[in-house]
Chains A and B, each alone.
Chain A
Amino acid sequence: MAASTTISEGPRRPHPLEICAALCAGALLTLMLLSNGMMAAHTTPIFASLTAHGVGSVVAALLLLVFWIRWPARRRGASGRAPIWAYLGGISGALTVIISTVVVNSSLALTGTMALGLAGQVVLALLFDCFGALGLERRLPRRNDLLALASIIVGTLLIIFARGNAG
């Protein structure tokens, strides 16, 4: 991938392919939340998250199996071992579901939960970038990165509150 050759040359402009991938992944998140929300309404939020993680494990395992059979030469080995804690992302993912279920059912409702979640997400991400936390590259956000983030956040809050008031 051409994008990986320029990584350590300081701040660079995101490749259009990367922006497109991020927007498409965000759209997948909408579909995922729709599906999980349907299961949560039909059963319980915890069961919905449990099935999502179970189905996800099986699908990811099958995809990995297909990759390994089709392209055995690409099996990694020499690129260094990941520290044990890097395997624990799933714990905080699972906790997110439980915590946000509690908050949604409080007086904050869906609107407040989404707005606060957005705030927490962005603030911690900026801190992680500034310090190069947890083994990822340190990068100070450029002025345009901050302006882009601010614009996306304000736009998102407008949409969230428009929906909250109507509901």
Chain B
Amino acid sequence: MIWMILLGICSGMLVTLSRQLNGRLALSTSAMQSSFWNHFVGFAVLVPCALIAGSLWPSEAATAHWFAWVGGAIGVIFVAGGSWLIPRLGAALTGGLLVAGQMLSSVALDLLRGVDAMLSLQLAGVVLILFGVYLSRRA
């Protein structure tokens, strides 16, 4: 259990590490180039992983919904955005505001899809997040 907790913390730290490295690369190149290298190097690492885990092309892949294929294209903009922001806002504020945008949009998505899991608690969370975003603007 303790190992799983440490791994969980590690996975979050890797997100920050990746954003910091991409941000450094963007300083010498551009945000979009850092996004390209992030995806390209990640792909090169994942090919052997996929081979070890099974195959490069599971048979179900052919029948996947089109939306399942566009995540990578969305990710290109997301990573480029992170690389653009991190030299401007710093790692902590960049991470915090990205999480804020992620949570606000996912609550909105849940509402649209009619999932109302403990709605009052979620709305309290939304208010706190909005307050946090407001605070980040104040000197």
User: What residues of chain A have their CB less than 8 Å away from a CB belonging to chain B?
Assistant: 3-4, 7, 11-16, 18-19, 21-36, 38-39, 42-44, 46-57, 59-61, 63-64, 67, 76, 79-83, 85-100, 102-103, 106-108, 112-113, 115-126, 128-129, 133-137, 139, 141-142, 144-145, 147-159, 161-163, 165-167
Contacts and interface: CB of A to CB of B under 8 A. Distances in A.
Nearest to B45: A94
A59 B88 contact: no
A28 B58 contact: no
A116 B11 CA distance: 8
A49 B72 CA distance: 8
Contacts of A124: 12-13, 16-17, 91
Size category of the binding interface on chain B: 35 or more
Given A116-B8, A151-B131, A136 B23 contact: yes
B92 A122 contact: yes
Contacts of B24: 82-83, 86, 134-136
B29 A82 contact: yes
B105 A21 contact: no
Interface string B9-44: 111111111111111110111101111111111111
A155 B128 contact: yes
Contact of A145 (B17, B23, B102, B136): B136
A52 B126 CA distance: 29
